[in-house]
């Protein structure tokens, strides 16, 4: 079933919504009023009495030995309440999963411009900044390496001596017989692509507000996607029992993968507060946000593809990712890139050689798409290049090789639902009648593939989410979930699911997320898992709550439980229409007469598999279900200036059942924004010859704004997936992976030049046109 939406279509006001049809309804966001009126509390707004300001002293060198740090001058500055170095903190290595290799404050070595060396807390920001300038660090400047290819060489400068190599992670996995596949192929093509170090550029900068109590308990307000993950590792980093650490709910001003882990600044804020015995607020400047939060992995991707009888049979993907100075999520992103490549089309043989390499640059981490955008640009560009060389229609070529429902990919992912062919056809049709006829106009398509949850992140052999539902005496409900509202409409989605699962009007549902003291352990919001894992946990919690209500009603009404059901906010008997009781009545009865309470807890862990030693997952894969998409766009090029204009982008996505079409459209538009920024204007955090980042401000590092965005047509190719709550699948990042290739393909269609590196700028287009002419 296809549903076309024009972005910005009118929303149904929350009042007067059908009582049991919230799932699937275009509802306004439950957090909208709070956010648009400025009531939402972000880190900057957290009001704590006698709060100090924290600031971090960062390395000005890309690589240096720290011979000594003298903080005495800073400590004696009036207004300074704490100065800390590595001597003040537990030597806990921060990182992702088991790959921790970063101390919150450098011990004897700084490894990139921005590395945390010392920190201060003072009565105001001015004093804190002044104190930083009074810390004397004795650096011995060391040779450095910025380029991952250089860093892989045997004689390269090694960043982490204990590792003995800069290759932080590698993956060499084969399915089928690649050599035989290429030998038997009619055609073999090999092409190379490159993508830049895109920055997340969250509207809210990173930071942390920490309050170390005199009872040695720690309370933090940190803008995060994963409150429980932060709590878990922060407790280790500050050496407190988990019961003494609380991550509080706070507004999240943009995340996109950049807030999935515990970071040095969280630990630093905590220790500053511990030492000063006062609350500490530590917020990045915009410049710090660029070079000291984290970035996307720049990547080199080489793809070798074998074709037999017009079908893709064999693929060999080689990827080199620049992970920056510390490992962070480099191994996982590198693995995800290779895993995604095995799932894009029906192929028989697949080999992956992936390398995650450390260099003296800012740390790279999760970023919307998680390896997908780097891969998608390469893989989907090459699809068009192959189609052109073989004189095939690129849309037909994609359709012929597309995955379908019931397929199991070469690496073992089982597609319990798949409407990819419908997506391709719908995105193709959406631009029909707008066929660019003029000179220098073109059209290009790319497909996308993604995950809905991920087993095995953060030490866990799980992909767990948790929720609790508590019904009040008046029949209204509190829903507590372990994830966080990071702007994805999580709270609203959970409210819709809870409302329908219990048959309660949505305006009587409140959702509490983001607080580790409220909710049970939940891995958080990443890998497009929120709607599916938290959604399922909410549904399970609702089912248990419903069970309690029905049990009590059966007793109260003296009616067999099997005859009772919930309809129109009442519990009714199917055998006798005269037997009915409102939810409020039964809830009140339970509280008042039975001396009990109405609540249910749901824990959901999908039936997926942990990756084995190859880094790949046995069927059905690491994710319980998989979303697909196709992006199709028109472009016109000015040959004189190399400028190009995108006329319209059609995005067709198979995200299962859209719980809230307006939220799905918001995600599609956000996905296009990040993909198009990466494809066109975002330069990436490039470095100068001295190893310092070139970009510090939004004057230099440009983002697209509303004025730059093309018209987006959102098409939902709805599938019926048997796994998630109401058949939902993830929809927060796969389209980002498709935009770059769709643009490159459209440009090639328009002017006959092939762009193989991102971003695609007018400068590069003019150069390519000149090369084509000569």
Partner 1 sequence: MSTRVLPEFLLLRPDTFDEALSLVDRYRDKAEVLAGGTDLLVNMKCGTATPSIVIGIGKVDAFNRIEFDPENGLAIGALASIRALHDSPDVARYYPVLRDVAHLFANVQLLNMGTVGGNICNASPAGDFIPPLLSQNAHVVLGSASGTRTLKLIDFFVGPGKTVRRPDELLQTITLPPLSTDYHSGFVRITRTAEDLAKISVATVFSLRDGNFHDVRISFGAVAPTVLRMPDIEAFLEGKPMDDQTIGEATAMAAERISPITDLRSTSDYRRKIAGAALRQSILAAVERSPAQ
Q: Report the C-alpha dihedral over residues 227, 232, 233, 237, rounded to 10 degrees.
A: 120
| Binding of partner 1 by 77 (CB under 8 A) | no
In this chain, which stretch among 439-447, 554-562, 690-698, 743-751 interacts with partner 1, using CB under 8 A? 690-698
Site track 232-271 with partner 1 (rule: CB under 8 A), x = hit: ----------------------------------------
Q: Which of 9-17, 69-77, 658-666, 756-764 is the region at the interface with partner 1 (rule: CB under 8 A)? A: 756-764
Q: 3-class DSSP state for residue 668?
A: helix
Helix (H, G, I), strand (E, B) or coil at 1: coil
Shortest Cβ distance from residue 80 to partner 1 (Å)?
A: 15
Distance CA 334, CA 325 (A): 16
- Closest CB to partner 1 among residues 148, 642: 642
* Backbone dihedral region for residue 524 (phi beyond 0: left; psi -120 to 50: alpha; all else: beta): left
Find the angle CA(240)-CA(205)-CA(233) to the nearest 5 degrees: 20
Q: Which is nearer to partner 1, 298 or 727 (CB)?
A: 298
Stretch that binds partner 1, among 266-274, 278-286, 501-509, 624-632 (CB under 8 A): 278-286
Is residue 2 at the binding interface for partner 1, with CB under 8 A as the rule? no
CA pair distance 210, 77, nearest whole angstrom: 22
Distance in Å, CB of 702 to partner 1, minimum: 5
Query: Cα angle vertex 642, ends 638, 643, to 5°?
Result: 70
Q: How far is the CB of 124 from partner 1 (least distance, A)?
A: 8
Query: If we measure between CA atoms, which residue out of 431, 173, 199 comes closest to residue 293?
Result: 199
Interatomic CA distance for residues 734 and 653, integer angstroms: 9
What single-letter DSSP state applies at residue 611? B
For partner 1, which is the closer residue by CB, 614 or 761?
A: 761
- Between 287 and 757, name the residue whose CB sits nearer to partner 1: 287
With respect to partner 1, which residue has the nearer C-beta, 473 or 709?
Answer: 709
Beta bridge partners of 734: none
Examine residue 45 and tell whether it contacts partner 1 (CB under 8 A): no
Alpha carbon distances (Å) from 610 to 220, 434, 655: 32, 46, 23
Alpha carbon 374 to chain centroid, angstroms: 15
Residues from 720 through 749 that contact partner 1 (CB under 8 A): none
- Of 127 and 468, nearer to partner 1 (C-beta) is 127
Max distance between CA atoms of the chain, in angstroms, equals 90
Cβ-based neighbour number of residue 758 at 10 Å: 29
If one asks whether residue 766 binds partner 1 (CB under 8 A), the answer comes out as: yes
Query: Does 642 sit near partner 1 (CB under 8 A)?
Result: yes
CB of residue 276 to partner 1, shortest distance in Å? 19
| 696 near partner 1, rule: CB under 8 A | yes
Query: Helix axis angle, 372-389 relative to 736-751, nearest 10°?
Result: 30
Q: Does 697 bind partner 1 (CB under 8 A)?
A: yes
Say whether residue 285 binds partner 1 (CB under 8 A).
Answer: yes
Residue 26 beta carbon to partner 1: minimum distance, rounded to whole angstroms: 29
> d(Cα 112, Cα 59) in Å, to the nearest integer?
7
CB 598 within 8 A of CB 583: no
Which lies closer to partner 1 via its Cβ, residue 148 or residue 279? 279
Site string for partner 1, 123-142 (x = CB under 8 A): --xx--x-------------
Name every residue whose Cβ is closer than 8 Å to that of residue 567 and which is 6 or more positions away in sequence.
503
Is 569 or 696 the residue whose CB approaches partner 1 more closely? Answer: 696
* HEC secondary structure over 682-712: CCCCCECCCCCECCCCCCCCCCCCCCCCCEE
CB of residue 318 to partner 1, shortest distance in Å: 31
User: Quick one: which segment of 314-322, 607-615, 647-655, 688-696 binds partner 1 (CB under 8 A)?
Assistant: 688-696
Beta bridge pairs of residue 636: 441, 645
Q: Establish if 757 lies at the interface with partner 1 (CB under 8 A).
A: no
Say whether residue 773 binds partner 1 (CB under 8 A): no
Check if the beta carbon of residue 493 is closer than 8 Å to that of residue 4: no
Q: Least separation, in Å, of the C-beta of 700 and partner 1?
A: 4
Q: How far apart are CA 315 and CA 661, in angstroms?
A: 36
Q: Using the rule CB under 8 A, which residue among 37, 98, 578, 705 binds partner 1?
A: 705
Q: Are 246 and 280 in contact (CB under 8 A)?
A: no
Could you say whether residue 762 binds partner 1 (CB under 8 A)?
yes
Stretch of residues binding partner 1 (CB under 8 A), selected from 190-198, 299-307, 359-367, 698-706:
698-706
**What's the closest the beta carbon of residue 66 comes to partner 1, in angstroms?**
20
Nearest to 365 by CA among 162, 198, 116, 157: 198
Shortest distance in whole angstroms from residue 128 CB to partner 1: 9
Q: Which CB atom, from 414 or from 695, has the smaller least distance to partner 1?
A: 695
Residue 516: both structure tokens together: 């580790």
Among 236, 544, 702, 754, contact with partner 1 (rule: CB under 8 A): 702
The answer to whether 230 and 262 are in contact (CB under 8 A) is yes
- Contact with partner 1 (CB under 8 A): which of 10, 162, 215, 640? 640
Considering the complex, state which of residue 505 and residue 759 has its C-beta at the smaller distance from partner 1. Answer: 759
Q: End-to-end alpha-carbon separation of the chain, Å? A: 50
DSSP state of 639: T
Sole binder of partner 1 in the list 20, 84, 283, 557 (CB under 8 A): 283
Summarize as ranges the residues that interact with partner 1 (CB under 8 A).
125-126, 129, 283, 285-287, 638, 640-643, 681, 683, 694-697, 699-700, 702-705, 707-708, 761-763, 766
């Amino acid at each position: 079933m296809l549903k076309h939406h024009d972005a910005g279509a009118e929303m149904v006001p929350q009042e007067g919504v059908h009582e049991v049809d919230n799932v699937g309804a275009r509802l306004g966001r439950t957090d909208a009023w709070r956010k648009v009126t400025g009531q939402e509390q972000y880190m900057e707004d957290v009001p704590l009495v006698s709060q100090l300001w924290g600031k971090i002293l960062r390395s000005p060198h890309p690589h240096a030995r720290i011979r000594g740090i003298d903080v005495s001058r800073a400590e004696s500055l009036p207004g300074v309440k704490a100065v800390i170095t590595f001597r003040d903190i537990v030597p806990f290595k921060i990182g992702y999963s088991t790959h921790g290799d970063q101390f919150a404050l450098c011990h004897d070595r700084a490894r990139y411009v921005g590395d945390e060396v010392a920190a201060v807390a003072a009565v105001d920001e001015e004093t804190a900044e002044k104190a930083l300038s009074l810390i004397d660090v004795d650096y011995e400047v060391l040779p450095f390496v910025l380029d991952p290819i250089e860093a892989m060489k045997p004689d390269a400068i090694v960043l982490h001596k204990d590792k003995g190599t800069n290759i932080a992670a590698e993956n060499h996995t084969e399915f089928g017989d690649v050599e035989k596949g290429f030998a038997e192929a009619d055609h073999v093509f090999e092409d190379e692509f490159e993508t830049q170090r895109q920055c997340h550029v969250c509207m809210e900068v990173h930071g942390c507000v920490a309050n170390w109590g005199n009872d040695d308990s720690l309370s933090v307000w940190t803008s995060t996607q994963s409150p429980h993950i932060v709590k878990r590792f922060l407790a280790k980093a500050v050496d407190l029992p988990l019961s003494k650490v609380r991550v509080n709910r706070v507004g999240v001003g943009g995340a996109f993968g950049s807030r999935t882990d515990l970071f040095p600044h969280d630990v630093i804020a905590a220790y500053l507060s511990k030492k000063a015995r006062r609350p500490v607020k530590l917020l990045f400047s915009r410049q710090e946000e660029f070079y000291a939060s984290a970035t996307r992995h720049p990547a080199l991707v080489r793809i070798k593809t074998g074709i037999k009888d017009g079908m893709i049979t064999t693929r060999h993907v080689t990827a080199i990712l620049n992970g920056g100075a510390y490992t962070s999520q480099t191994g996982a992103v590198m693995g995800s890139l290779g895993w995604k490549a095995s799932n894009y089309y029906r192929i028989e043989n697949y080999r992956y050689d992936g390398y995650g390499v450390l260099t003296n640059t800012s740390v790279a981490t999760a970023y919307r798409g998680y390896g997908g955008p780097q891969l998608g640009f390469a893989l989907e560009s090459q699809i068009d290049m192959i189609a052109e060389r073989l004189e095939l229609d690129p849309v037909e070529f994609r359709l012929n090789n597309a995955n379908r429902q019931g397929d199991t990919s070469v690496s073992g992912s089982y597609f319990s639902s798949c409407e990819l062919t419908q997506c391709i056809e719908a995105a193709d049709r959406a631009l029909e009648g707008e066929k660019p006829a003029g000179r220098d106009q073109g059209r290009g398509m790319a497909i996308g593939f993604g995950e809905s949850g991920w087993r095995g992140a953060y030490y866990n052999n799980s992909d767990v989410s948790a929720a609790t539902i508590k019904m009040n005496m008046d029949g209204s409900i509190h829903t507590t979930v372990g994830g966080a509202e990071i702007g994805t409409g999580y709270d609203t989605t959970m409210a819709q699911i809870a409302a329908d699962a219990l048959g309660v009007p949505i305006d009587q549902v409140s959702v509490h997320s983001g607080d580790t003291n409220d909710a049970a352990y939940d891995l958080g919001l990443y890998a497009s898992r929120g709607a599916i894992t938290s959604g399922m946990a909410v549904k399970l919690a609702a089912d248990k709550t419903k069970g309690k209500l029905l049990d009590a009603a059966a007793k109260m009404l003296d009616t067999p439980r099997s005859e009772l059901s919930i309809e129109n906010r009442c519990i009714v008997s199917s055998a006798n229409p005269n037997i009915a009781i409102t939810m409020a009545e039964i809830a009140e009865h339970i509280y008042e007469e039975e001396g009990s309470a109405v609540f249910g807890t749901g824990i959901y862990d999908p039936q997926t598999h942990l990756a084995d030693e190859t880094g790949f997952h046995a069927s059905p894969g690491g994710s319980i279900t998989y979303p697909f998409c196709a992006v199709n766009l028109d472009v016109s090029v000015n040959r004189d200036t190399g400028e190009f204009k995108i006329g319209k982008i059609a995005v067709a996505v198979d995200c299962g059942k859209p719980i809230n079409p307006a939220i799905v459209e918001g995600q599609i538009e956000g996905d296009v924004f990040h993909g198009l920024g990466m494809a066109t204007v975002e330069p990436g955090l490039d470095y100068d010859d001295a190893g310092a980042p070139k970009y510090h401000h939004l004057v230099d590092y440009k983002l697209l704004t509303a004025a730059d965005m093309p018209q987006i047509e959102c098409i939902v190719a709805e599938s019926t997936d048997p796994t998630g709550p109401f058949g939902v699948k993830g929809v927060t990042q796969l389209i980002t992976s498709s935009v770059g290739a769709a643009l490159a393909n459209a440009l090639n269609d328009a002017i006959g030049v092939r762009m193989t590196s991102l971003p695609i700028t007018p400068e590069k287009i003019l150069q390519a046109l000149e090369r084509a002419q000569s």
